[in-house]
């Protein structure tokens, strides 16, 4: 188990290893970052976006929050998005959800009257997604199937939310970047599965969610 002492020891060993492999590694990165990706994922400790994708320092700009939400009024995610798109000119923006997401689970349970406090407010959009797709979800045979599907639907809705931000709209008016993607990570086998890829305009974004 990682404790605080180990954390700093690990860091020192990592920095030494990186420098041994490439003496200029940190010096080069201290000058600028040129990532091609912005990844928006869940805060869950089992979903380390750089680790699971092999992204080295400098290759991935990252934003994480509970249940990988992209709220149109969230200054935090919007600031990250604006900087990534307007300044860093990332080519790809990925929303990464994950099966077994506690945030999505909490949103499902909230309908059963189990309040969790502040996070309930944060998860309002996931509950909206659940309501909007009630018929599709109810038709699935098990609770696990419904949970997994809600995780996927949540990712698709967040990709649509991304597409509708002023940042992405004005970027698309300029050229067809960034490309938006949605994927889901499976904490049981470590694999990332693509749900939707290369959304580069409003037609594709609008087609993501069947009208419910």
Least CB distance to Co ion at residue 97 (A)? 7
* Other Cβ atoms closer than 10 A to 127: 17
d(CA 65, CA 203): 28
- Nearest approach, Cβ of residue 42 and Co ion (Å): 3
Nearer to Co ion, 53 or 177 (CB): 53
Length of the chain: 212
In the set 6, 17, 46, 193, the catalytic residue is: 46
Active-site residue flag, 98: yes
Active site residue 46: yes
Please state the closest distance from residue 199 (CB atom) to Co ion, in A: 22
DSSP state of 112: T
Does residue 44 have an active-site annotation? yes
Structure tokens, 113: 């009257």
Which residues contact Co ion (rule: CB under 5 A)?
Answer: 42, 44, 101, 103
**By C-beta, is 5 or 45 nearer to Co ion?**
45
Composition of the chain by helix, strand, coil, percent to 5 = 50, 15, 35
User: Which of 63, 92, 98, 181 is flagged as catalytic?
Assistant: 98
Cβ nearer to Co ion, comparing 11 with 43: 43
CA distance 161 to 99: 20
By annotation, the residues acting in catalysis are 42, 44, 46, 98, 101
């Amino acid at each position: 188990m990682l404790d605080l002492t180990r954390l700093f020891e690990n860091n020192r060993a990592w920095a030494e290893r990186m420098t041994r492999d490439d003496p200029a590694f940190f010096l080069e990165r201290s000058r600028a970052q040129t990532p091609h990706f912005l990844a928006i994922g869940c805060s869950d400790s089992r979903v380390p976006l750089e680790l699971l994708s092999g992204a080295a320092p400098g290759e991935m700009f990252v934003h994480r929050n509970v249940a990988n939400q992209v709220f149109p009024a969230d200054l935090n995610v919007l600031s990250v998005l604006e900087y990534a798109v307007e300044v860093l000119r990332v080519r790809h923006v990925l929303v990464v959800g994950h099966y077994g997401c506690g945030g999505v689970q909490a949103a499902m349970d909230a309908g059963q009257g189990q309040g969790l406090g502040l996070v309930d407010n944060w998860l309002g959009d996931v509950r909206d997604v659940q309501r909007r797709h009630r018929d599709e979800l109810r038709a699935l045979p098990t609770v696990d199937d419904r949970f997994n599907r809600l995780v996927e639907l949540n990712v698709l809705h967040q990709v649509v939310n991304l597409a509708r931000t002023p940042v992405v709209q004005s970027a698309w008016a300029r050229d067809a970047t960034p490309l938006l993607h949605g994927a889901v990570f499976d904490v049981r086998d470590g694999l990332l599965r693509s749900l939707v890829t290369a959304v580069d305009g409003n037609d594709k974004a609008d087609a993501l969610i069947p009208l419910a």
